Structures are given as structure tokens and as C-alpha cells.
Amino acid sequence: MPATVVDAVKTPYACACRCHEALSLEQRTQGIEALYRFEDAMRGWGQTVIWDLAAPALWRVQQQLGEVKWVAVRDTGCIHARLLGFCVHELIHALNGDPTAPNWGTPVGLPYGVPESVAPADEAAYLHRYNQHEARAWVGLAAVAYKLFGIEWTLLPARDVGTYGFVGGNAVVDVPPGYRQVPHFDSMHHTRRYYALARKLEDEARDWFTEEQLGEMDARFREAEARGRDMRTTAYPPAREMARLKPKKPGRNDLCVCGSMRKWKQCCGASVD
């Protein structure tokens, strides 16, 4: 059985940012309540949240499966900075696209390919809209977390820059059937060019988060949250009780906290046990 949001908050693991020690009990309670509310909203939109420590691998699986209405959100053992950051990131994606559609309506072959029906001359224009959505999901963590959940501590993105498809380089990545590879600038082979394009895009994205936009996002989120809460079959355990749980080391047969989908004993735990 896939892990649930309750499974996730019941298994806090020690993390590099030391969330449990850095945040107060009230803040940790607030963070867990935000995760509960996120789960309700996703249910209200007809999405299934995968809370297992497997997001990086499951993203690649999703590319092969195509249109599936689930979202994997946990890629490390950190709950209050990274897991919450991942959830808010996906929430911004949902509210920029169609939250009831698989992958929020974004074609699964993006950003490194386009549907074969798109003409080569139109590739850059086609990808630009989705690059904009990714930039908003990347830079909007603080604004959206505060507006929707009242969270004021720092939420962590996966890296230091978003994942964009900038047409014009010579990097290529495998894409699913029905898509055409797009040669692009990437952060490894075209570092300076990629970061310059990314920072320009992200600066523009920050201006998108006006009070009007944030208010609209909050209203749409609350509507989905109420719908999902009514669909809930069991009550969540009190967030304050979950917030008191102390971080632990993964069990030997637990999924590794790095998100590899391998067991702890076969992955990062091999050098510790």
C-alpha cells in the first residue's frame, strides 16, 4: 500500500536543516496542518498524493505512464522544509494549470521535448508558457506558503534553479513516445547561458505574485480543500501530537531517505549501519 500523509508525518527523519530543533512545536504543528490541508485539496481535485520516499524515481515512471492523476511529493527525509516546499511547489503548478488534469495539464514529455505535432519553428514559443509555470512554482514558495498556510520559515526547493527547456543548445534528453527531442541549453553543459536565462525568467515570475493573484489562488485552494475534506473517510490524528514526534533513523528495510526507492540498508544506510 502506498504511504499516506499520516505515514509521512509519523516518520520524521533527521535532516540536514534540523527542522525539528530549529522550529517550535507551534510551527511544526502548523506545518503538519498544512500537509493535511494540501492532501484534502488534492483529493478535492481528484488527485492521489504519493507520500513514499520515491518522488525522483516516480517522476520518471510517470513520464512513461503518461496521463495519471497522481503526484509524488516526498524526495528526502525532511518534512518541514523540503516536503512542505515540494507540496507548495506542486500546488503552484496545479493552480497555474488545470488542477483536475493529469500533471496539471502539462504534457509529460516537457521540458526537453515537444509533441511531434508542434512545428520545429514553434518549439520555443510552445515551451515558454510551461517554463513560466515552472519559474512561478520555483520562486513563489514563500509568498504562497504564507498566504495559504501562514508559514513564515524558509521552505526548500530541490535545487538552486528551476527545470526549464531553453531551445538552442546541444543537450538532448530521452522523451516518451509521441514527443520529439528538443536540443536545449542545460545547467551542466551550458551553465552560464542556462543560469542567465533562468534568472531572467524567475525575476519575471516574482512580479506575477500580486495580492490579487494570491487571493485568487487562496480562494481556489480553499474550495478544493473543503470538497476534499468532505470526501475524507477517516480523521487525521491531531497535528500537535504528530509534531511532538522526534526524528528517527530509518529502519533497515525502510525506503532510503534520499528518494532512490532502494532500501535504506542497500543505499545510504550501507555506510552507516
Q: How many other β-carbons are positioned within 10 Å of the β-carbon of residue 158?
A: 17
**Residues with Cβ < 8 Å from 198, sequence gap 6 or more?**
135, 161, 162, 164, 166, 187
Assess contact for 141 and 88: CB atoms under 8 A.
yes
d(CA 104, CA 98): 5
d(CA 118, CA 267): 41
**Residues with Cβ < 8 Å from 57, sequence gap 6 or more?**
259, 260, 261
Assess contact for 260 and 57: CB atoms under 8 A.
yes
Q: Is 46 left (phi over 0), alpha (psi -120 to 50) or beta?
A: left
pLDDT of residue 96: 96
Give me the amino acid identity at 226.
Answer: A
Give me the amino acid identity at 221.
Answer: F
- The set of cell numbers assigned to 176 is 516518451
**Residues with Cβ < 8 Å from 203, sequence gap 6 or more?**
none
**Residues with Cβ < 8 Å from 30, sequence gap 6 or more?**
149, 150, 151, 239
pTM assigned to the model: 0.92
CA atoms within 13 A on the CB side of 91: 33
The three-point CA angle 172-177-178 to 5° equals 95
d(CA 51, CA 79): 11
Grid cell 480553499 is found at: 222
d(CA 45, CA 94): 9
Local confidence pLDDT in tens for the 273 residues of the chain: 778 999 999 988 888 888 889 999 999 999 999 999 999 999 999 999 999 887 767 766 666 666 788 888 988 889 999 999 999 999 999 999 999 999 999 998 899 999 999 999 999 999 999 999 999 999 999 999 999 999 999 999 988 999 999 999 999 999 988 999 999 999 999 999 999 999 999 999 999 999 999 999 999 999 999 999 999 999 999 999 999 998 887 778 777 777 676 777 788 777 765
Assess contact for 123 and 115: CB atoms under 8 A.
no
